[in-house]
Amino acid sequence: MDPFAPFALTLPVRRDVPLKPRTTWRIGGPARWLITPVDGAEIAGLLAAWPENLPRVILGGGSNLLISDKGVHGAVMDLTQGMNRIYTITESLIADSACLVHADAGATTQALAHFARRLGLTGAEFLAGIPGSVGGALRMNAGAHGGAIRDLLVEADLIDPAGGIHCLPEAALGMGYRHCGIDAAWIFTGARFRFRPDDPARIRERMRAFNQRRRRSQPLAWPSAGSVFKNPLSGPLAWELLDRAGLRGMRVGDAQVSEMHCNFFINLGQATAREMRELIDRAQQTVADHAGILLEPEIKFVGWE
């Protein structure tokens, strides 16, 4: 039976859609259903009538996910297709000369960074090298080069699992290092960010410097999901712990700990989710045995239940 039949006329719903191409790891099985909503009201209506016991996964840019080989036996909601507007809220130019920008949750963080750059607005330079969507970045509190998305965030639009619509200020979201305190079942649909004016040439120069640093230190030619593990709150960084435990270059099938950056695990071509998961588990156990530290995965596991 088609649980989405009541929505079929108004909402794009597709069956048995491969998810592998929608992840930066190029790994994972299909989605039983794939839904691509165009706005928050549509999502709210859908959630209010959600079929009981049907699993639901929110997909952004797929740059921080390990989807199982069997895929998602439920519905995947992809916000990147129909919800990706970015615009300034001109009437909200604030007294301290900051400027407010709205981004839909499905817009890419890179588009947001370049939108701000083109308008001579500083603050999002660090986002230019982080793949994925605004919604995913909010869920992960994505960050780099000393910045994180919460630093720019004024307020976010969310939908709760019953379909209730909320607008919450940054302080209510419980954001910390690669963490958001909002229940994982809530969906970000958009957010407002605060930027300050700066010389566009200087903004471009900072972006260029950040991206160069990435190209020098990260295996960007290979499919990956960025850093697999979070850094411990103090002491050595995750990549140092992985390196000291002798994991650099370790392989399980086509899944490999990058020779270039030990916290990036790369897909050499045909890696399966099972192989990547085994590599992650083995790396975690080896570091625990070697250094007595249990590294916490930064990436999210989807469809493994």
User: Which positions lie near ligand FAD, rule CB under 6 A?
Assistant: 24, 57-65, 79, 105, 130-133, 135-137, 139-140, 142-144, 187-188, 220, 224-226, 300
Q: Residues 68, 224, 227, 258: which is the catalytic one?
A: 227
Closest CA to 105 of 147, 31, 21, 42: 42
Closest CA to 257 of 230, 236, 282: 282
CB of residue 59 to ligand FAD, shortest distance in Å: 5
Distance, in Å, from the CA atom of 161 to the CA atom of 143, rounded to the nearest integer, reads 27
User: Which residues have C-beta within 8 Å of that of residue 138, sequence separation ≥ 6?
Assistant: 105, 149, 153, 156, 173, 180, 188, 191
CB of residue 127 to ligand FAD, shortest distance in Å: 9
CB of residue 108 to ligand FAD, shortest distance in Å: 8
Q: What does R_g of the chain's alpha carbons equal in angstroms?
A: 20
User: Which residues have C-beta within 8 Å of that of residue 128, sequence separation ≥ 6?
Assistant: 110, 113, 114, 117, 207, 210, 211
User: Can 85 be counted among the known catalytic residues?
Assistant: no
Nearer to ligand FAD, 290 or 300 (CB): 300
Q: Which bin fits 216, alpha (ψ -120 to 50), beta or left (φ > 0)?
A: alpha
User: Which residues have C-beta within 8 Å of that of residue 288, sequence separation ≥ 6?
Assistant: 294, 295
Residue 125 C-alpha from the chain's centroid: 17
CB of residue 155 to ligand FAD, shortest distance in Å: 15
Tokens found for residue 49: 């009538």
Distance, in Å, from the CA atom of 146 to the CA atom of 303, rounded to the nearest integer, reads 32
DSSP code of residue 232: P
Nearer to ligand FAD, 1 or 208 (CB): 208
- Bridge pairing between strands 255-257 and 13-18: unpaired
Distance, in Å, from the CA atom of 293 to the CA atom of 234, rounded to the nearest integer, reads 11
Q: Residues 178, 204, 206, 274: which is the catalytic one?
A: 178
- 122 near 191, Cβ under 8 Å? no
- 29 near 77, Cβ under 8 Å? no
CB of residue 224 to ligand FAD, shortest distance in Å: 5
User: Can 196 be counted among the known catalytic residues?
Assistant: no
Nearer to ligand FAD, 217 or 285 (CB): 217
User: Can 227 be counted among the known catalytic residues?
Assistant: yes
CB of residue 105 to ligand FAD, shortest distance in Å: 4
DSSP code of residue 177: T
Q: Which residues are catalytic?
A: 178, 227, 298
